[in-house]
Amino acid sequence: MAGAYETGVYRNIFKECGYSEEEIEKRVKETFETIFYGSEEERFYHEAGADMGYMEDTGNHDVRTEGMSYGMMVCVQMNRKQEFDRLWKWVRTYMYIEDGPGKNYFVWSCAVDGTRNADGPAPDGEEYFAMALFFASKRWGDGEGIFNYSSEARAILRECVHKGEPGHPGEPMWNPENHLIKFVTSFEFSDPSYHLPHFYELFALWADPCDHEFWKKAADASRKYLHTACHFRTGLSAEYADYDGTPHAQHQEIFGRHDWYYSDAYRTIANIGMDHLWFDADPWQTENANKLQQFYCEEQAEHWDGVFLTDGTRLEEKALHPTAIIAVNAQASLAADGPYAEECVRRFWNTPLRTGERRYYDNFLYLFAMLALSGNYRIYR
């Protein structure tokens, strides 16, 4: 089976499970509207002045490149250009690094008034910015200045690859030798949930021509890396992992503990599902999705809110983002063909958006799953 890049066909898994097109479309729209324009207790998109807006991390009360880039991706998928441009202008106004080693990167955290909380970037923001900008260019056309979307995307990727070379001070976001994305530019280990080979395949077409081969190698390297980062029995990955896929247990004095299947790591299986949907380049992805769904539905049927080591050992802690787990377990069904694919989708369908101060991360992953499982998370070219 060829992926959607070749076929143009995006599975509507909700429809395959028997839900009507009308109720699916209504649910997708309502999810977006709640996050962007719901009550103060529901939304986390806020307009700022006449032409800007931001996504608030309601758990940490800040604005992150993660959330801003996610918001931009959601907006281009939903054909919401005005909100997209508001977010991008906020990013370029407050988060853009104009000079020094981080030039053309973005500080990963700001206060809601734009005051910077950090000096450096987080690579997951940059890769989502670039992909969202390319899609905006393809869907709406390039504008002027910062709204010349494709030019902005290429500029981001140029720095991600070439920093550290003559004329490009600073640290690259991808290790130039193994083509793996770093957790942060100054440390040589990775975050499995940052690996987006389905993005890199498109970067290999649309980035600077001299970097096309780099991005093709990055896509191949990330797919192979995920084989080692996801446990052979459970399908779980750690939040941070070394370049050989081993859970990263060092640097806890700086970053805290991240060698377990916890918040960041939930995105890994969602990304695997998306790569399978778009490119269907690796049969292992189906095996891994089946293992993860089996782990949750058979071994841990009563403990979906648990925290686990990658081998499946359940710890005493409880998940900080339990709704996100339900969402990504369903999104795994983009790749899965096992007995629990439909069960996971139905459980997600019957789960409401999260409320309360921790809703930001859960509900972004919820919205991505809603788009993907309805056939509305698409490549624009």
Q: What CATH number should be reported for the domain whose range is 1-42+228-381? A: 1.50.10.10
Give CATH for domain 44-173: 1.50.10.10
Q: CA-based Rg of the chain, rounded to a whole angstrom?
A: 19
Q: For residue 367, what pLDDT is reported?
A: 99
Q: How far apart are CA 357 and CA 178, in angstroms?
A: 39
**66 is known as an active-site residue:** yes
* Whether residue 124 lies in the annotated active site: no
pTM, entire model:
0.98
| Mean pLDDT for all residues in the chain | 98
The string over 331-349, giving b where at least 16 C-beta atoms fall within 10 Å of a residue's C-beta and e elsewhere, is bbbbbbebebbbbbbebbb
Instruction: Say which of 66, 85, 282, 287 is annotated catalytic.
Output: 66
Q: Quick check: 208 pLDDT over 70? A: yes
Q: With contact defined as beta carbons under 8 Å apart, do 238 and 260 qualify?
A: yes
Domain 1-42+228-381 matches domain 44-173 at the CATH topology level: yes
Average pLDDT over residues 267-277: 98
DSSP string, 212-253: HHHHHHHHHHHHHHHHHHB-TTT--B-SSB-TTS-B--S-HH
Model confidence over 282-303: pLDDT tens digits? 999 999 999 999 999 999 999 9
Identified catalytic residue from 127, 264, 275, 287 = 264
Domain boundaries, the chain: 1-42+228-381, 44-173
Write the single-letter amino acid at 62.
D
